[in-house]
């Protein structure tokens, strides 16, 4: 780790404090677009917003709920918000005009840092007898909120397998999907988030759940060839109550992004705070998934343009 980047960020903060002392200048206000209730995005964005508001002089960062990755991509690109969390795959496809039914090019969204890997979870109840992805034909499946990265990933996955049009797709956020599964309103739900995920824990607390192997389900399809930014991952046995076996899955990477309009100096200050020893310790308290955040791996899985402030900070 190069101490210079943190010293530089500290000096920037000090300069702002000294320059504004006595002038009563109002705080700069930034908006951070997170995710749906119960999702890892929302934990991260809320934690980061509160930490930055407390530790960066004359800066107030407001957390905004969101449907998830795709809505964040569009909000950040338009300048409606300043920061967001977006999946690496969505930044890549969005920048190149390859999103499903959306040929717009989202070129104002720039990466700041890798946050964590987001594995696919496919959850059902043991009593339903669903043991493979193909068993979902004709079933009611919640895939995340409309406009979310989870829903986008689900559509890519199930379309590649020829199942998307054969399922009864429900656009529900994670918490509502967990409730709906227990109430018998759906047969399965899809989560695309770091583990352990609170909504999957919620479902497992009062039901006998099953996690489906989505890698085996994709065998014979072009899914992994078409979307090479997805990488293999295993959800370990014991992660969720009653799931005493390893589950093969794949993951995307959740990135902290900023709009091109955000000043490089502000980005440097914010990175310096979040990736300080104290900032990283705080984030782990907010969500254990943040253990994957580190200085050494901060630019892993970044396949899109890096913000000028981040380029300077990570040198």
DSSP string spanning 242-308? Answer: T--S-EEEEEEEEEEEEETTS-HHHHHHHHHHHTSHHHHHHHHHH-GGGGG--STTTTTT--SPBPH
Closest CA to 250 of 122, 95, 96, 69: 122
- Select the more confidently predicted residue: 52 or 40: 52
pLDDT at 17: 47
Distance CA 303, CA 284 (A): 25
Give the residue extent of every domain in the chain.
Answer: 3-115+255-314, 119-252
- What is the rounded average pLDDT of the residues 77-97? 95
Whole-angstrom Cα distance, residue 306 to residue 210? Answer: 39
For domain 3-115+255-314, is the CATH number 3.40.50.360? Answer: no
Candidates 233, 265, 238; CA nearest to 250 is 233
The alpha carbons of the chain give a radius of gyration, in whole angstroms, of 20
Lowest mean pLDDT among 5-14, 48-57, 143-152, 206-215: 5-14
Where does the pLDDT of residue 101 fall: very low under 50, low under 70, confident under 90, or very high at 90 and above? Answer: confident
Residues 6 or more apart in contact with residue 148 via CB below 8 angstroms: 35, 36, 67, 68, 69, 70, 71, 173
Q: How far is CA 280 from the centre of its chain?
A: 17
Under the banding of pLDDT at 50, 70 and 90, the label for residue 134 is: very high
pLDDT at 284 over 80: yes
CA 172/CA 144 separation, integer angstroms: 5
CB atoms within 10 A of CB 185: 14
pLDDT of residue 4: 57
76/257 Cα distance (integer angstroms): 8
CATH topology of domain 119-252: D-Maltodextrin-Binding Protein; domain 2 (3.40.190)
Q: Which of 14-23, 29-38, 108-117, 132-141 has the lowest mean pLDDT?
A: 14-23
More confident residue, 194 or 168: 168
Indicate the length of the chain as a whole number. 315
pLDDT in tens, 244-271: 999 999 999 999 999 999 999 999 999 9
């Amino acid at each position: 780790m190069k101490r210079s980047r943190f010293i530089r960020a500290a000096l920037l903060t000090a300069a702002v404090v000294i320059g504004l002392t006595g002038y009563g200048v109002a705080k700069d206000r930034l908006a951070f677009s997170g995710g749906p209730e119960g999702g890892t995005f929302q934990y991260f964005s809320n934690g980061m917003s509160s930490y930055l508001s407390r530790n960066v002089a004359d800066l107030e960062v407001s957390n905004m709920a969101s449907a998830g990755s795709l809505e964040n991509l569009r909000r950040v690109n338009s300048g409606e918000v300043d920061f967001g969390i977006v999946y690496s795959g969505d930044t890549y496809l969005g920048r190149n005009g390859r999103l499903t039914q959306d040929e717009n090019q989202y070129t104002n969204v720039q990466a700041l840092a890798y946050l964590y890997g987001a594995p696919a979870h496919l959850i059902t109840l043991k009593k339903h007898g669903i043991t493979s992805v193909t068993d979902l034909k004709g079933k009611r499946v919640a895939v995340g909120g409309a406009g979310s990265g989870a829903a986008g990933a689900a559509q890519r996955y199930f379309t590649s397998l020829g199942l998307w049009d054969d399922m009864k797709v429900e656009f529900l956020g994670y918490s509502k999907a967990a409730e709906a599964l227990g109430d018998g309103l759906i047969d399965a739900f899809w989560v695309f988030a770091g583990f352990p995920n609170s909504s999957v824990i919620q479902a497992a607390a009062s039901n006998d759940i099953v996690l489906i192997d989505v890698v085996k389900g994709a065998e014979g399809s072009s899914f992994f060839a078409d979307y090479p930014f997805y990488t293999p991952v295993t959800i370990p046995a014991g992660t969720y109550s009653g799931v005493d076996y390893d589950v093969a899955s794949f993951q995307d990477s959740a990135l902290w992004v900023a709009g091109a309009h955000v000043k490089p100096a502000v980005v440097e200050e914010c990175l310096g705070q979040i990736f300080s020893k104290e900032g990283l310790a705080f984030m782990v308290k907010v969500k254990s998934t943040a253990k994957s955040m580190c200085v050494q791996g901060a630019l892993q899985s970044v396949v899109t343009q890096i913000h000028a402030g981040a380029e300077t900070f990570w040198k």
